[in-house]
Amino acid sequence: MYLIAGLGNPGPQYEHTRHNIGLEAVEQWGKSLGVTLRSIFFRSKHALVDFRGKPIVLLCPLTFMNKSGESVRDCIRHYDLETKKLLVIHDDLDMPLGKIKVVKSGGAGGHRGVSSIIHLLGSSEFSRVKIGIGRPRHGEAVADYVLGRFYDDEKKLAEEIMGMAVKASQLFVLEGVEAAMNHINCRRLIT
């Protein structure tokens, strides 16, 4: 069994914001599989689905970003999963929008959701899909930028990059993290 966790914040005020791109990618994958993520266990909305013969949990924590680890930890404990079967999808301020990167493990890189997961799992040995969201263009504070919606000229690219994150997740489940890295990390939707 695999756990695919998309990070974001709950509530309509955070829908379609840069910080929620991981959460929305997981929701997009669920929709393509014909499932709706529901709020029941693990302080999340989630669904247990079969993807080409492999059981996966699609999980979007509803604990707010800084406490994402609580939801992820509870789900891992419930299903007795190994951290190597965990893939976390999240935004990355240090990469431009249109760039995506799959990594096998590593530090939090300043991302509080990832930091929460590392802290509560006691391990950084889980894979991630980092989705670039770029930096503010108009002098906004970083916090306002991250919690803001994409600029009008970025919306189409944001949708495309979420599709790439879904593809990375599919490769992770079907072929492993190295295959996902090899197929995805060389791709970029912008030049």
Q: Which residues are catalytic, by number?
A: 19
d(CA 111, CA 143): 12
What amino acid is encoded at 61 in this protein?
P
Is residue 77 within a helix (H) or strand (E), and if so which, with residue range? Answer: helix 68-79
Q: Give me the sheet containing 86-92, strands edge to edge.
A: 38-39, 44-51, 54-61, 2-6, 86-92, 127-132, 100-103
Spatial CB neighbours of 89, under 8 Å, sequence gap ≥ 6? 4, 5, 6, 7, 22, 23, 25, 26, 128, 129, 131, 165, 169
